Structure 1
C-alpha cells in the first residue's frame, strides 16, 4: 500500500496529512499540525519559513514512528508570497506577508504607465494589491538586485527539502506576471518590477517529480525515504483538484480564510466583461484554468472569534448565529478595510454605523452578519458568473472548512437557486494527494481521481428553499452598486 503525505500550509496553521487507498476508498489521517502566522520584524509583517521547514520534518519523524518507511510528499501553501534567495542558495531575509501594508496604492502607481486592460489581456489575472507583481514593484531594489532566485513559497520549501528549484505554474500564475499566450513570464511586466526571467527557476506543471529529500536532513532528523512531487502548489489549485465536480455546469467555492468562487475552464476567459468584474484566470492542474473571484472569506470570522478570546468554538458560534434573523445588515465583505484591521469587530461595527445599518453586538449577531453577507456575496457572484459564461451554474461544490457551516450553505443555495454539495472539508489535502497519485500511476487521470473522491467522502447536499427573502439579493446588489458609485 502506497503512502502519500500532503503538506498543507495556510495562513494560520499547517498540517501533514497521510493519504492511503484502503478497500477502494481514499483515507485521510492527520499526522501533525502546527501553527503559522506572520509577525512584525524589521518594519514588515513576515513569515518564519525556518519554522515551517522544521515542522515539516517533525511531522515526517512522526510518519517514520508509525512504521512507514517510504512516502511520497507534496507541498501546497497560499499564493503570491515569495522568498528571495542569494547566490549562496540561502534566503536573503524572511519573506514579507501579502497582508503587509507596503503595497497600498501599488496598483495605481504601476498602472499609471501600463493600463489595467493591457495587463489583464496579457495575464487574465484579477487586480489585487497583494499580487506578486505589486509586491515586487514595492520590493527593496538593492535587496532584489542581490537575489539570484525568486521562489514562490511552496517552491522554496521544496527547494530546501531537496536542493532542486522549480516554479510550479498554478502558483506562478497568481503573480499576475505569466503571459496567457506565451506560457512564460511576460517580459514587459518583469521589466516594470526590475526582475528578469532567469531569476525564476524553470516553470513546471503540477505532477512533476522534484526529487528525494536531501541526505543532510536524514542526518538531523529520523526520516522515512521521501520522494517530493511538485503538486498543484497553490492551495486553491489543490482544493479544486480535490473537488468532486461532475458534468459541465458546476462551480466551486473553496471556503477557508479566503473564499475562491468560480469554475474550471479548458480555455481562459479574459474578455472585457471578466475584466470589469475582476475575475481571474489562474492556471490549474492538467491544462485547466480556475476562472474565479477572490472573496475575503472566513478570515473575518477567524478574526472575530479570536477577538472574542477564542471563548467559543466555530460550531457554537454557528449555533448562536441561527438564533438571529439573517440579513439585518448589508456588508461589502470584499471591502479593503477588512483585509487586516487592528480590530475586526470594531471595523464591522463601524462599517454598519457609517452605512446606517443595524450594528451587530452579540457573538450570534456578529456571526449571523458574517455568514449571511458571505452568502449574499456568493449568490451575487454566481449571478455574474452566469452572465459571463452564458449559462446557468446548476451545482455549487463547496469545499474547505466553510463546507461545514450548514447555515451559510443553505442560505447560499436558496439565494442563488443552485444545488449545493458540501465536502470534502479537506479538499486541499485531498487534491494535493490526488496529483501525487496520478504521478505515481495509482490513479489514471483527474476524472478518475474525482470519482474516487466522491466515493470516499460523506458529501452533504442542500437544495433551494422557499423563503421570505426573495428580494434580499436584489436589494443587496443595489447596495453594492451604490457603494461602488460613491467610491468612484
Structure 2
C-alpha cells in the first residue's frame, strides 16, 4: 500500500496555492496542483472575498484527490497573519472579513494607544506596533455591536474550520494579534479587559503541529479524504517559511525576501528592551517553540511599484520583465547615493519613481530620468540599498542578541535574484544560501510530517529541520 499523501494550503494576499506531497517509492515528490489570484476588494470597506477563496481551494483539493488515489493523511494551512473572520453561533461567517489595509485601523490604533501606550503594549507582547495588527482591528469592530459580539478566528485557521476543524488559534499566528502575553504565551486577559474586548470570543490556543480535526462535509465523501487529519502547522506564513529552512544551528540569520523583507534570527525567548522597541524589532512565534526576532523593511515592493508606474506610462504594456531588468541593472556601476528604505513615503502604493526622486532631491542629488528606459538605474539603486540595509540590520541583530552569525538563509521569491544575493554577500561578508522559493509550503509540510510520526501534538525544531531537508530535496 503506497504511503498516504499530504496537502499544503498556502494563502497569500496576492495569490494562493494548493500543493500535494506524494511518496512514490517512499521518496518525497512535491507538486503545486492549483494556484489562483487573490486580492482585496472594495465592499463596505476593504475586504476579502472569502467565498471565492473557499471555492478555489475546493477546486484545488478535488484535483489533489484525483491525483492521490492512495489517500491523503493530512492537510495544513498557512497564510498571512492579522486578518480574521467573525462567526455566527452556527460557525458561519457573519460577513466578508476586513483586509488589514482598511483605513479604519488608523483611528483604532490611536484609540488603543490612548488606553495602553505603545511602549507598554510592546513590553507586554513583544510585537512591533503596526496598524495592521489584529488588536487594532478587533478594537475597530467595537463600532459594530454585531461584529464585536461574534466569535472570531484568524484566516488560515478559518480554512481549517471550514474543512471540519474546531475554532482554534495556532500560536505562531496568534502572536501577531498583539494580544498574547510574551511571558505566559497565553491570551493576555489584562489586555482584553483594558481594551474592552470580549475574551470569550477569542479562539482556543493550540501549538504548531496540533491535530485540530478531520475533513468533514462534501469533501469527506471523496475516497482520498475519508480519513484525513487537519493539522495546524505554523499557520503564520512567515513562521512556516522559516520552518522550511533546513538548519538546526544558531549561527544564521534569515531574510524573508519578497514584497517586504524581514531580517531576523531565532531566539529561545522574546527580547523586549527600549532599544528593540525603538528600532522596531518584533517577536513572533516560531514552530518548535522558538521566537522569530526580526525587523521588516520595504523589499521588492519598491521595484514592483516602479514597474507599475512604467507600465502605466506605456498604456498598460509591460515595460520590463523582472529577469531582464535584474540583468540590465547588474551591468551598471554602483549608485552614487543609496536610498533610505525606512522613508514612510515608500510604504504606500503610488508613483514610486517620483518618490525616489523626491528623496534624492531632499539630499541635493540629481534627479533620475523617470521613463521606463531608466528602469535599470532604479533597479540597481533598490538592490544596492537593500543589501546595505540588510548589513545594518544584521549588525543590529548581532549587537542586540550578543551573537555572531556566519550565514544568511534567504527564503521567498526574492531569493531568485542572484544579483541581490551577491550584493548582500558582499555587503555583509557572510555566505548567502538561497533556500526554497516555496519555503512556506516546505515548512507547512515539514510540520505535518513531524506531527504524523508521533502520537502527541507539538513538534520540535530538530524534527522540523530534518523533514524540511528531506522535502527540499524532493521539490519538483
Asked if 1:314 is matched to 2:322, the reply is yes
Aligned partner of residue 262 in structure 2, secondary structure: strand
Alpha-carbon separation, structure 1, partners of 2:413 and 2:112: 35
**One of 364, 367, 374 as aligned partner of 2:379:** 367
How far the C-alpha of 1:87 sits from its partner, in A, is: 2.3
CA deviation string 1:126-179 (max 9, x = no partner): 111211122223335224655421211101111111152111110110111100
**One of 335, 346, 359 as aligned partner of 1:351:** 359
**Structure 1 residues 145 and 457: CA distance shift in structure 2, 3 A:** closer
Alpha-carbon separation, structure 1, partners of 2:359 and 2:209: 45
Alpha-carbon separation, structure 2, partners of 1:319 and 1:395: 25
**One of 136, 139, 146 as aligned partner of 2:138:** 136
CA deviation string 1:168-205 (max 9, x = no partner): 11011011110012222212322344322210110000
Query: Are the equivalent residues in 2 in contact too, given 1:99–1:339 (CA < 8 A)?
Result: no
Give the equivalent residue in structure 2 for 1:156.
158
Aligned partner of residue 245 in structure 1, secondary structure: coil
Asked if 1:198 is matched to 2:200, the reply is yes
How far the C-alpha of 1:353 sits from its partner, in A, is: 3.3
Asked if 1:439 is matched to 2:451, the reply is yes
Q: How does 1:32-111 map to 2 (within 5 A)?
A: 32-42=34-44, 44-71=45-72, 72-104=74-106, 106-111=108-113
**Structure 1 residues 156 and 62: CA distance shift in structure 2, 3 A:** same
How far the C-alpha of 1:255 sits from its partner, in A, is: 1.3
Alpha-carbon separation, structure 1, partners of 2:233 and 2:467: 18
**Structure 1 residues 156 and 400: CA distance shift in structure 2, 3 A:** same
Query: Are the equivalent residues in 2 in contact too, given 1:133–1:176 (CA < 8 A)?
Result: yes
Asked if 1:378 is matched to 2:387, the reply is no
TM superposition outliers: structure 1 runs of 4+ over 6 Å: none
Query: Are the equivalent residues in 2 in contact too, given 1:209–1:228 (CA < 8 A)?
Result: yes
**One of 106, 117, 120 as aligned partner of 2:119:** 117
CA deviation string 1:319-351 (max 9, x = no partner): 122133333443232333333323334333433
Deviation larger for 383-392 or 450-459: 450-459
How far the C-alpha of 1:290 sits from its partner, in A, is: 0.7
Asked if 1:20 is matched to 2:22, the reply is yes
Alpha-carbon RMSD across the aligned residues, in angstroms, is 2.5
Gaps of 5+ in 1: 460-488
Asked if 1:325 is matched to 2:333, the reply is yes
Gaps of 5+ in 2: none
Query: Are the equivalent residues in 2 in contact too, given 1:120–1:275 (CA < 8 A)?
Result: yes
Which TM-score applies when normalising by structure 1? 0.87
Asked if 1:3 is matched to 2:9, the reply is no
Give the equivalent residue in structure 2 for 1:213.
215
Q: How many residues align?
A: 457
**Structure 1 residues 252 and 46: CA distance shift in structure 2, 3 A:** same
Which TM-score applies when normalising by structure 2? 0.89
Kindly indicate whether structure 1 or structure 2 has the higher relative contact order, using CA contacts under 8 Å at least 6 residues apart.
2
Aligned partner of residue 294 in structure 2, secondary structure: strand
Alpha-carbon separation, structure 1, partners of 2:308 and 2:30: 28
Query: Are the equivalent residues in 2 in contact too, given 1:260–1:295 (CA < 8 A)?
Result: yes
Aligned partner of residue 295 in structure 2, secondary structure: strand
**Structure 1 residues 275 and 392: CA distance shift in structure 2, 3 A:** same
